[in-house]
Amino acid sequence: MKQLLQSLKDGSTSLADVPAPRAGRGQLLIQTTTTLVSAGTERMLVEFGKGSLIQKARSQPDKVKMVLEKARTDGVAATYDAVRSKLDQPLALGYCNVGRVLETGADVDGFAPGDRVVSNGKHAELVAVPKHLCAKIPEGVSDDAAAFTVLGAIGLQGIRLAAPSLGECVVVTGLGLIGLLTVQMLRAQGCRVMGIDYDPARLALAAQFGAETVNPGAGGDVLAAADRFSRGAGVDAVIITASTRSNAPMHEAATMCRKRGRIVLVGVVGLELSRADFYEKELTFQVSCSYGPGRYDPAYEEQGQDYPRAFVRWTEQRNFEAILDMMASGALDLAPLITHRFEIAQGAQAMALLTAEEPSMGILLDYPAPADPGDLRARQVALGDTQTGAPSKAPSTPRSETTPGRAGRVTFLGAGNYAGRVLIPAFKAAGATLDTVVSSGGVSAAHFGTKFGFATASTDSDAAIADPQTDTIVIATRHDAHARQTLAALRAGKHVFCEKPLCLTLEEIGEIEAEARARPGQHLMVGFNRRFAPHVVRMKALLDTLKSPKTFVMTVNAGAIPADHWTQDRAVGGGRIIGEGCHFIDLLRHLAGAAITGHSAMALAESPALGDKASILLGFADGSVGTVHYLANGHKALPKERLEVFAGGRVLQLDNFRALRGHGWPGFRTMRSLSQDKGNAACAAAFLKAVRAGAAPVIPLDEVIEVSRAAIEIDATLR
């Protein structure tokens, strides 16, 4: 299928061929008929992309601070690579989509194939959208009109927060699409409205919709006009839908308001507020969040948990429905807002219009209907040889099991930032033959597939696992999928490299262990890359010369992650000890060279439910003892990882995989590197080498299971 993508590196827009998404649990698969370009949001993205690195930095000072902190702790090279990788990934544009439902996923009610719906789907021929971000379009509302629903809901949420009543006077600052829709809705609610903008054409439309207007660019005195408009009493409310860095809209809004007036910010403006402006009048100021309650709440949007109507009358979905009802009643006039339309094949021209001198407002993209909707639904796209453009996938040769000694073809499940920046390059550098890369939405699979020379991009993980051409499966998906995909890959006769964690429960460990032991010819490895870091390799060699027990002190300045982040969700991410802490349990297990015989743990009292501020004590069969201080309450300026080892009157100190110092070691004092190396490349290379040679696994299965089980048990202790 075709999808419109934008480069954050240079701002260019392209129409890409990507594998079609599937309707996941709680989602609708929609065949698009029309989308609307959001002139405000998408113009900002295009302008950001076209800016130089310095301009990008100036527009996001908070991100610059993060980059500088990372450079101080991880080194310039690692930081540069991370920034370049982020800018290299394409952005899927659009959030105003109209189409027909092709299929529904599990746990979807109220929708059926054939329904005409609006959603916040992208500019793509097919989109998979959660049910709470969709609404049925009433009969009599055209696709063109319905395409304005999401923008209308943004304005409506601002109105709901301003809470105007019949007869009140309200000012709308900024008369773009959202502003003009807001004007119409306020008028429909019985409010008197004044619109402020610099564009005469937009002011004319606002007047057509029943608003008084003022143009400060043509000499209009905004405050004097507001005084006349409010009959000297001050306006009741101001809704700001403008996009500008200036602080003037906020100052003017405060000045023109009556005592205890309300100001709601829907757009993006300067926020250097004057206390005096707000103090004497006791003004209320609130920022409006997108389409309404439920926005950015994973439980509502992704998991389908609705808010009770009695307590949250207007969710984002109900706001969609309210806008559509206003369209059906004729209260909203959308035709005057449409200035351009393009076929999706000319999507790049449509985006170029956003930064051109030609005036534009409502830009519609039309999608031709294929003779067979199934033509769009291919979940696999042949990417071709990046050098010749020819298809690079060899003819299929079915076989029943993986053959040791083969060069091997590797399939990646998951194409997120870590996979694209670290894992895929590591496997490619190790000489892997890259077969298929899979992502749920298809965009990242197509991007990384083309970039690294995969034969195929796909959204169908089951088919990728079953593909007889693939010898090896690399799992880099969300944590809750790891156990299921590992078991499926093992049962399909594949070698498996699973990015940590292996699984989330002891029951899953038992099932995986039984399956792996029944298949001794197949490798199962977890990406415990720190074992393979050059500094750790040197530490291991030094420690192996000692027979005395060792004391390990591992300090991890993990940094805070919000409690609602997916990694903190026990059912999805498993929490940070299972999801990341397993790395450090494995590192100490590896350096000790002895089995874990016991463990205990204690979490900081303020956050026992998260377990991300904890001290873990490990005992080993050789008498060694290790502690892991996994701390999310530190400062970012401190490097993330430090390991100290005390043994036989000697000490080793490893700082963030950049410097290793020895105290009391004959012939060894320091080992330094210019850039951080956590062993990712060496880990992938060692795994592939063992697979190709039919050799023993580089991490014994016993240790993979032992460490994974210990992490789950420790997490349970902490919680």
Q: How many domains does the chain have?
A: 4
Instruction: For residue 488, give Cα distances in angstroms to 30, 379, 464, 467.
Output: 29, 19, 11, 12
Contact 33, 98 (CB under 8 A): yes
- Judged against a pLDDT cut of 70, whether residue 399 lies above it is answered with no
Strand partners, 541: none
In the prediction, which pLDDT does 389 show?
38
In the prediction, which pLDDT does 392 show?
46
Domain assignment present for 492: yes
- C-alpha 604/C-alpha 202 separation (Å) is 57
pLDDT band at 41 (very low <50, low <70, confident <90, very high): confident
Domain assignment present for 485: yes
Domain assignment present for 219: yes
Q: What are residue 327's phi and psi, to 5 degrees?
A: -65, -45
Contact 436, 459 (CB under 8 A): no
The set of residues, in sequence order, having a beta carbon less than 8 Å from that of 144 and lying 6+ positions away, is 34, 334, 335, 338, 364
Long-range pairs of 75-81 with CB within 8 A, sequence gap ≥ 24: 75/658, 75/674, 75/675, 75/676, 76/675, 77/674, 77/675, 77/676, 78/675, 78/676, 81/421
Per residue in 532-591, pLDDT tens? 999 999 999 999 999 999 999 999 999 988 888 889 888 999 999 999 999 999 999 999
Q: 511 and 630: one domain?
A: no
Amino acid at 433: T
Domain assignment present for 296: no
Domain assignment present for 77: yes
Q: 711 and 576: one domain?
A: yes
Domain assignment present for 511: yes
In the prediction, which pLDDT does 297 show?
92
Q: 404 and 360: one domain?
A: no
Instruction: For residue 361, give Cα distances in angstroms to 91, 151, 177.
Output: 22, 12, 7
Q: Which of 120-134, 136-150, 269-283 has the lowest mean pLDDT?
A: 269-283
Q: 562 and 709: one domain?
A: yes
- Judged against a pLDDT cut of 50, whether residue 413 lies above it is answered with yes
Q: 445 and 519: one domain?
A: yes
Query: The tokens of 469 are what?
Result: 């051409």
Q: What is the CATH number of the domain that holds 24?
A: 3.90.180.10
pLDDT band at 357 (very low <50, low <70, confident <90, very high): confident
Q: Which helix (H) or strand (E) holds 363?
A: strand 362-366
Q: 620 and 517: one domain?
A: no
Q: What is the pTM of this model?
A: 0.85
Of 59-63, 611-615, 701-705, the range with the highest mean pLDDT is 701-705
Average pLDDT over the chain reads 91
Q: 234 and 129: one domain?
A: no
- Judged against a pLDDT cut of 50, whether residue 328 lies above it is answered with yes
Q: The domain containing residue 446 runs over which residues? A: 378-527
> Where does a domain end: 527, 557, 582?
527
Q: 574 and 608: one domain?
A: yes
